[in-house]
Chains A and B, each alone.
Chain A
Amino acid sequence: MRAPDETTIKAGQTLLSVEGVSLSFGGVKAIRNVSFDIRKGEIRAIIGPNGAGKTSMLNVINGFYHPQEGQITFKGIKRKKMRPHDAATGGIARTFQNVALFKSMTTLDNIMAGRTLRMHKSFFWQLLRYGPAEQEEIEHRRKVEEIIDFLEIQHIRRVPVGRLPYGLQKRVELGRALAMEPELLLLDEPMAGMNLEEKEDMCRYVIDVNNHYGTTIALIEHDMGVVMDLANRVVVLDYGQKIADGTPDEVKANKAVIDAYLGVAH
């Protein structure tokens, strides 16, 4: 489905790199001169204490915020600033810290909405519905049902997502992002507010998505156990600055990281 020149990035090569990005809101510097990269096929974690600029970083990557300095290279294309629509067409999908589902729509419709960009039948076919538009709808429904099976949410297909418990909403949101068949999936605290069992389930889905679909994942998470188990590489932010970058073991041993998390006597 994708143009051939876009698939040339192989596993292990840099899919996205952030170079010297600074973002400020008025006098508040949310991100200061941060650079890191995400390689294709890996699970990359972004961690840091509250207010370190993690979510801002994701917002910069998918074009919701425009950094004052620095640039982003995604699939070899340099951009001063990304636009949300470009990010989506380029293959970046994300979930939100505080679930951003379409609350009054059913699970099925939410995930189907994730396929909007891949549906092309024009307005007039949509008006008639019978024929090409219905054919297209059925094709995409098949894909969506695969995702529903994958995430084990068959039983809530027809339920408006606003009525679902939090853990399931998070799962539906992951499903909606997966429906975009993204190359890069940004997960903003996918396990926040979950109990142990739900967390384990979610971890399993994240790993499965990574293995099964080969999707590159960048995730923000506070649960260190989860991060250290899931991530291939971890970048640590504190007060908007990058203080460490490396494998979980390297990061765990890093003095600056320990200081940032535990505090340091002055």
Chain B
Amino acid sequence: MFYREAGQFKTTYRADMATFPITQDRIGIAIILMVAFTVIPYFGSNFFLHAIMIPFLIFALAAIGLNILTGYTGLLSLGTGGFMGVGAYACYKLATIFPEVHILIWVVTSGFVSAAVGIVFGLPSLRIKGFYLAVATLASQFFLSWCFIRIPWLVNYNVSNAIEVPRRTLFGVHVTGPEATPHARYFVVLAIVVAMTWLASNLVRGRIGRMWMAVRDMDIAAELMGIKLLNTKLLAFAVSSFYCGVAGAMLVFLYYGSAEATAFSINQSFAILSMVIIGGLGSLLGSFLGAALIFMLPLLLPPFLGSLGLSIQAATAEHLSFMVIGALIVFFLIVEPHGLARLWQIAKQKLRVWPYPY
């Protein structure tokens, strides 16, 4: 009833091709952004910002990265954790070698290092597809994990063999290191994630996004239309790895504070992949929804069970949440294989005609 586009006529192609062509969507996104930038930091506790919002946003960004590769270009990758690690370690090396350059510049620059590594591991994608490519990217994951553990140069020969995040400030406020408040870090993460999401949405709606999707849907036809398969796939690998790299750098510098190689293990790759599948392949919104579900569920489940009066041990609660997530994944794959984003679309379609059935 309220979500209806009747009466909204477009008279230019520009209006028709806008990011949010429907007025209600524009209002909705404005409200979400306003809440994210004002209400959440104002009312949110330190715990809420640090333990929920920051990692949620970072994982959503990594999911966008993987979605560009797997959802938009159709190249299944199990190397996400590795590419995130490349970003994190590159950021650490750059920040310690050139401490005078601002840390946020390095957070973004580390994405380029990750992109370069992504291109190298993307080269086989011209010849191999589907599960076989997944196995090839799995190899990259193991190779990169090995590098993180075995090359002490990457962590400046720290005895702990971990990244120790240096203290850095932005406008005189600590944004990294132990003194940084959750609020400061939250704003930095939010700004980067919003900006990069906007760039990604521009990319996927334009010529490049169509090239990616064309390669995904029917590579032979794409080739015969003059789309160069290798270039297109490598571009997808580069952009995807860039996003994952920035997410990885933020994960260490703005969330963990210090990290070992295990933070970028195969488990991370699987977690991101399940976010993308649950959220919806080929949807930026889906990346956020998937990240929210996979990341927040284990956090929200124990308090929820507690409120039901079930007092259970922490370890049991953790196992329980794994089981619930597993069951939910199976449930979603059966009920809606196209993910939460499709559910949202269906809901919007229903709203559009409500209260009539069609």
Contact = CB atoms under 8 A, between A and B. Distances in A.
Interface string A75-118: 00000000011011100011010001111110001001110110
A100 B226 CA distance: 15
Contact of A94 (B211, B214, B217, B224): B224
Contact of A127 (B202, B217, B220): B202
A137 interface: yes
B210 A129 contact: no
B5 interface: no
Interface in B207-260: 207-208, 210-211, 213-214, 216-218, 220-228, 235
B180 to A, nearest CB: 29
B43 interface: no
Contact of B220 (A64, A104, A137, A141): A64
Most buried by B among A88, A112, A145: A88
Contacts of B217: 101-105
Is chain B's binding surface mostly helix, strand, loop or mixed? Answer: helix
A58 to B, nearest CB: 10
A105 B203 contact: no
Given A102-B213, A116-B225, A138 B14 contact: yes
Interface string A130-152: 00011011100110010000000
A25 interface: no
B281 to A, nearest CB: 10
Given A88-B226, A137-B17, A102 B206 contact: no
A96 B222 CA distance: 12
A69 B227 CA distance: 27
B276 to A, nearest CB: 16
B282 interface: yes
B213 A104 contact: yes
Residue among B13, B220, B228 with max Cβ neighbours from chain A (10 Å): B13
B218 A100 contact: yes
Contacts of A117: 225-226
A119 interface: yes
Contacts of B129: none
Contacts of A85: 223, 226, 228
Nearest to A104: B217
Contact of A62 (B205, B208, B224): B224
B220 to A, nearest CB: 6
B210 A126 contact: no
B211 A129 contact: no
Given A103-B218, A112-B210, 20 more contacts: A85-B228, A87-B224, A88-B225, A88-B226, A89-B226, A100-B218, A100-B221, A102-B222, A104-B282, A105-B210, A109-B210, A113-B210, A116-B214, A117-B226, A127-B202, A136-B207, A138-B17, A145-B13, A180-B225, A180-B226
Interface of A: 62-64, 84-85, 87-89, 93-94, 96, 100-105, 109, 112-114, 116-117, 119, 121, 123, 126-129, 133-134, 136-138, 141-142, 145, 176, 180
Interface of B: 12-14, 17, 199, 202-203, 205-208, 210-211, 213-214, 216-218, 220-228, 235, 282
